């Protein structure tokens, strides 16, 4: 009987240890080995967090890896790629170059990039439209303007293009890059305006600006990604409040737009083992049974 009890205790120790591992929550992997590159590799800004503000910091000394370790509930700053796109001095020649952010997540390389003019004007997949047309139609639909007549949509689109709308949405602010270790899903935070209405007023004809009045319009900037041999674009028209605002203007970075795509499930590099404290504790109980049996034999 005592041998049976001893075996049960030992078995329980192993089972409980393995059970503790099986019920532990999925871990989130972060981006490591971050580098900035592209054909405009110096055109980026880094924002850290100070209280409820994002503040521009020296990009040469900033710890970008740490800044990108946040999540949707708690962004920890961001890196703006191709930061000069919205400046008045930005030219058509400038719009042929990009800035990238690369690193490793779950053992795989990922590269995030700003957009160039050719990204907007190239045909997108099998839509029969350019990426610009595809994205703009989605932006209208998701913000309640899908029922506008065709001439009005065309006027809005042409005005958007003429007033450098492409450039305004080509400089993504990357706030975090995370991976669910169980499913492989990769989540990327894009910092932007929680309400982008004021941002869009300058690119809409004056006779149509009444369409925007009183509206909360949400649209993230766009990030181009390359991962596991695939290149595509990520964007969102739904934001959550980040709890932050950029210190100098009091409005930027107020919204967090999370975008996702299916990544490869990370390969486990080591076999799971029971929690040492659990095993040692239960083995101690097993030892008590053994000691008790020896004591009774000696009496």
Any idea where the domains of the chain sit in the sequence? 2-21+272-298, 31-261
**pLDDT for residue 26:** 52
- SS3 letters across 18-83: HHHHHCCCCCEEECEEEEEECCCCCCEEEEEEECCEEEEECCCCCCHHHHCECECCECCCEEEECH
State how far Cα 97 lies from the chain centre: 23
Q: In the prediction, which pLDDT does 72 show?
A: 95
pTM of the complete model:
0.81
Going by C-alpha positions, the residue among 61, 26, 18 that lies closest to residue 180 is 26
What pLDDT is stored for residue 23 in this prediction?
41
Structure tokens given for 247: 């210190």
Residue with tokens 């981006």: 31
Distances (CA, A) of 3 to 7, 157, 297, 299: 6, 81, 14, 19
Rounded to whole angstroms, the Cα distance separating 71 from 222 reads: 18
Query: What is residue 294's predicted lDDT score, i.e. its pLDDT?
Result: 47
pLDDT digits (tens, 9 = 90+) for 147-159: 999 999 999 999 9
Tokens in use for 78?
């961001």
CA distance 134 to 141: 11
Provide the pLDDT for residue 31.
96
- The per-residue pLDDT for 208 is 86
pLDDT, residue 297, reads 47
Please state, rounded to an integer, the average pLDDT across all residues of the chain.
86
Encoded tokens for 193: 């305006």
Q: How many Å apart are CA 291 and CA 218, to the nearest integer?
A: 70
Residue-level pLDDT at 205: 85
The rounded Cα 293 to chain-centroid distance in angstroms is: 59
User: What is the model's pLDDT at position 93?
Assistant: 93
Residue 111: exposure state from Cβ atoms within 10 A (0-12, 13-18, ≥19): middle
pLDDT of residue 240: 97
d(CA 29, CA 234): 20
**Token pair belonging to 88:** 């008045």
Mark the ranges of the chain whose per-residue pLDDT is less than 50: 5, 8-10, 13-25, 271-272, 279, 282, 285-286, 289, 291, 294-298
Strand partners, 85: none
Helix axes 2-22, 276-298, angle to 10 degrees: 170
């Amino acid at each position: 009987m005592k041998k049976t009890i001893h075996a049960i205790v030992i078995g329980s120790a192993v089972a409980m240890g393995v059970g503790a591992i099986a019920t532990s929550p999925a871990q989130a992997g972060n981006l490591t080995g971050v580098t900035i590159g592209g054909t405009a590799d110096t055109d980026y800004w880094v924002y850290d967090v100070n209280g409820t503000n994002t503040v521009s910091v020296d990009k040469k000394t900033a710890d970008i890896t740490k800044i990108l370790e946040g999540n949707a509930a708690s962004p920890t700053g961001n890196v703006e790629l191709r930061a000069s796109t919205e400046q008045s001095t930005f030219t058509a020649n400038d719009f042929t170059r990009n800035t990238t952010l690369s690193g490793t997540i779950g053992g795989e390389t990922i590269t995030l990039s700003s957009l160039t003019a050719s990204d907007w004007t190239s045909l997108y997949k099998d839509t029969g439209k350019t990426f610009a047309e595809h994205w703009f139609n989605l932006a209208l639909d998701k913000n309640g303007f899908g029922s506008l007549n065709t001439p009005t949509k065309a006027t809005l689109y042409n005005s958007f293009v003429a007033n450098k709308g492409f450039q305004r949405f080509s400089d993504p602010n990357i706030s975090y890059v995370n991976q669910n270790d169980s499913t492989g899903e990769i989540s990327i935070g894009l910092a932007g305006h929680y309400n982008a209405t004021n941002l869009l007023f300058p690119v809409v004809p004056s006779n149509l600006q009444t369409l925007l009045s009183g509206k909360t319009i949400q649209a993230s900037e766009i990030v181009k990604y390359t991962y596991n041999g695939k290149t595509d674009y990520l964007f969102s028209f739904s934001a959550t409040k980040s709890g932050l605002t950029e210190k100098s203007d009091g409005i930027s970075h107020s919204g967090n737009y999370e975008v996702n795509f299916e990544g490869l499930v990370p390969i486990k590099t080591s076999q799971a083992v029971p929690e040492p404290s659990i095993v040692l504790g239960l083995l101690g109980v097993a030892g008590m049974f053994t000691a008790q049996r020896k004591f009774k034999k000696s009496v």
